[in-house]
Structure 1
């Protein structure tokens, strides 16, 4: 196994992950700012970067199989093991950051939808607003009030 080529591939994957995080951060700003044009642009960018990330990950899997970082380190020369360990740690931190940003964006979307539903109810009390469920579909029956309170708070 060419450990130098693997390190280059992992660094490329990390850079794509950073790019994906940046887009996700800007996506959150667009959601908070109710900027649908920017949101649409960011969704397109995310789809492109996600495709590139998937290709890099498939390439990595073709080289390493299902080997874990600890197993890979044993194949690296003594002087390059630390570099691989640092890179692995950085990628793990970036994955966590991406997860946090994604969860925040979901909460922003849910909050916005709850607000819209509440406004619909206020403007037309005889007609109940549709509920947006966990499965990302509108529920047909009203399930209580739509307060802007998150179970995550």
Structure 2
């Protein structure tokens, strides 16, 4: 038998198995979201939780603590009367908040979880209530 035929006979089954494995993976995972029957909302692949109202609901806690809270953006709160009130800036992760502080991008801010709290001239009582609300769910 010719050496070329022996090599070909070995490669054909290997190539066939590899091709079959590739084809078996196609369509095995359904990547398109489906909308439930009767729903008026389109399905989505995911939803980004707002850091203001996620499971810990910092915004609700601050309002329940009788603090005047203004939502300045999806990630920024002003607590108290401007310009003396505290500013809370939420980062994506606690590590991102710490990195901002370490790199000098958040001078004067206190890191509580993923939040950077800039106290400005807020009262100690207000800052204590802010810290209590933001510390919910923070580990370490």
TM-score range, shorter chain: under 0.3
Q: Which has the higher helix share?
A: 1
Give TM-score, length-normalised by structure 2: 0.24
Give TM-score, length-normalised by structure 1: 0.22
Q: Which has the higher strand share?
A: 2
Structure of higher RCO (CA pairs closer than 8 Å, 6+ residues apart): 1
